[in-house]
Structure 1
């Protein structure tokens, strides 16, 4: 609790390019992991600075 959570994001099929030949290729759809940090870990990593 407070650490964060992992979710899946879906990437749609897209057109890519082979850098060696310049040929157009189809990149298939895929699921990518995504981490959303919780409030507590954000506060630990980015503490509030005292006013100047």
Structure 2
């Protein structure tokens, strides 16, 4: 029983640490979002070429 009693809190701590997400966005995420907002919107065609 002592081993299982010690294992349960260890598993709960490991689970909590693996699930935790920091609030807000990382600098990388902010940069990516800004690039997507400022990038020109283009419509891709099949093969990337225009027919004609």
State if a TM-score over 0.5 links the two structures. Answer: no
**TM-score (normalizing by structure 2):** 0.26
- Comparing both structures, which one devotes a greater share of its residues to strand? 1
Name the structure with the higher helix share: 2
**Bigger relative contact order, structure 1 or 2 (CA pairs below 8 A, ≥6 apart):** 1
Task: Tell me the TM-score normalized by structure 1.
Answer: 0.26
